[in-house]
Amino acid sequence: MLEALAAYHQTDQLPFTPPGHKQGRGTDPRVLAVLGEAVFRSDVLATAGLDDRASTGKVLQQAQDLMAEAVSVERTFFSTCGSSLSVKAAMLAVAGPHETVLLGRDAHKAVISGLILSGQRPVWVDPQWDPDLHLAHPPTPQAFQSALEGNPDAKGVLVTSPTPYGAGSDLAAIAEVCHRHGKPLIVDEAWGAHLPFHSGLPTWGMDAGADLCVTSIHKMGSGLEQSSVFHLQGDLVDPDVLKARADLLSTTSPSVLIYAALDGWRRQMVEHGREIYDRTLALADEVRAEIEDIDGMHVHGRDDFCGPGRAADMDPLLIVVDISALGVTGFTAADWLREHRQINLGLSDHRRISAQITHADDDKTAARLLTALRDLADHAAELPPAPRFEIPDPARLRLEQVTLPRDAFFGPAEQVPWRKAAGRVAAEMLTPYPPGIPAALPGERLNDDVLRYLRGGVEAGMVVPDAADPEVETVRVLIEDGSSRRR
């Protein structure tokens, strides 16, 4: 992609096609001052631009083949709409409307969107709840085995690994269970772009035997936002069906900028990946040790996350820090770090914050992070104390799926006060974000525990952005026979 883009410039191509800015010539100078001329100069059409109108140069196909070769899989497809699209395409490739899929209940909201679009019937496989950490670890292979035995008509299985906390499933064992039953395994590995390129990182999905693996190159790699790939191997998923399903959702105007950066990341990893991650892993170890020495902070490691009843593996580059000893929530801490130290964190919850270390970090960025965290500890007593915030045990948060997510989402609905929503069927996703795992999803019957958890979370600083009412003062619910309409 990068070579084709360089050739496009060298041959002085002149477009009379979209984009209408014509390589930045029509762009407002005030926009160029912020975004730069190079962005617009390289924002060209993929066909009748970077390649000819019939794509005879097969530029995109060559780039995808090189990525497949780099990670030793049979087929790779690029996406410029993020893994939110890619995971939907993967789901549509294995099951149709009203067909059954097995999914870990720690799935991202994009998976729920896939259920709504497809009309598939979900069978949820419960994660492992850690009562000490108040954290869910990935479901076990045994849980998927039981679910498959109880649902022999299931068309496939979807697992999220690593989780946003960096915890990894026992993918090899889950793949073996799936294949024993003749079912394909999809791995939502949005956080695992880097995993194929160093033996010191957790085993990635395709090496573990998955059939289809979705990865966000922008999360832990050098791709631009929205860059994603899905990898395919084996004969349980038809590549032509996968491509057709992806075409249903993808854009006919893909970004060459996203393609080119994604292709460049692949080349960088093939040539220098081992060396890069030798350095990055060493840096992450140093940062972990330094944070552990800060009073009031504890860095979660393998002893916390891995072992019986917990995760099978963890990514050391996702640094999850328990700050409960400081007496403040992760929400408050993240806000303070952004406002006062200009440090942005990805994940925060009622007692933790998380910083990701990537190949782009160095001693300078690490030092700035560590200084900010030490300052946070020094100022914690000045911050609002953590409110009492109860997280019910999983049995109380587990909701009954009474209708298909699609039927509830598109059905007749009304907005009711949260205190009157218990017993009603949710017609929307209620998703604390990040990490983006729904606490309630369309078609589940709400209970008091989940509703109090969400309201308490919002009061403590939790964000629920996809709700019709992000404050969760009211909730969108399905109008069922016998339900009274409230205006």
Q: Are residues 98 and 207 in the same domain?
A: yes
CATH number, domain containing residue 349: 3.90.1150.150
pLDDT, average across residues 436-449: 92
222 vs 16, 207, 241, 267, CA distance in Å?
31, 22, 29, 11
- Tell me whether strands 156-160 and 100-104 are parallel, antiparallel or unpaired: parallel
Same domain, 378 and 321: yes
Residue 486 lies in a domain: no
Question: Looking at 359, 382, 405, which one is the last position of a domain?
Answer: 382
Q: Cα–Cα distance between 417 and 180 in angstroms, integer?
A: 47
Would residue 199 count as lying in a domain? yes
Residue 471 inside a domain? The answer is: yes
Same domain, 335 and 450: no
Instruction: Mark whether 345 and 423 lie in a shared domain.
Output: no
Assess whether 422 and 360 both reside in one domain: no
Could you report the per-residue pLDDT of 114-173, keeping only the tens digit for each? 999 999 999 999 999 888 888 889 999 999 999 999 999 999 999 999 999 999 999 999
195 in the same domain as 105: yes
**Per mean pLDDT, which range of 11-15, 22-26, 224-228, 458-462 is the poorest?**
458-462
Distance CA 70, CA 217 (A): 14
Confidence of residue 63 (pLDDT cuts 50, 70, 90): very high
Q: Where would I find the beta strands (DSSP E) of 192-244? A: 212-216, 228-232
pLDDT at site 487:
31
Domain stops at, among 330, 350, 382 = 382
Residue span of the structural domain in which 433 resides = 394-478
Phi, psi of 257 (to 5 degrees): -60, -45
> Are 374 and 429 in the same domain?
no
Domain count, the chain: 3
| Domain contains 484 | no
Take residue 370 and report the two structure tokens written for it. Answer: 């560590």
Position 388 in a domain: no
Q: Is residue 483, in this structure, part of any structural domain at all?
A: no
pLDDT in tens, 367-415: 999 999 999 999 999 999 988 877 777 788 889 999 999 999 999 999 9
Same domain assignment for residues 259 and 111:
yes
CATH of the domain at 457: 3.90.100.10
Alpha carbon distances (Å) from 427 to 4, 406, 451, 475: 47, 9, 14, 8
Same domain, 229 and 354: no
- Looking at the domain assignment, is residue 387 inside a domain? no
Does one domain contain both 114 and 242?
yes
* Residue 249 lies inside a defined structural domain of this protein: yes
Given a contact cutoff of 8 angstroms between Cβ atoms, the answer to whether 196 and 207 are in contact is yes
CATH number for the domain that contains residue 212: 3.40.640.10
pLDDT in tens, 273-309: 999 999 999 999 999 999 999 999 999 999 999 999 8
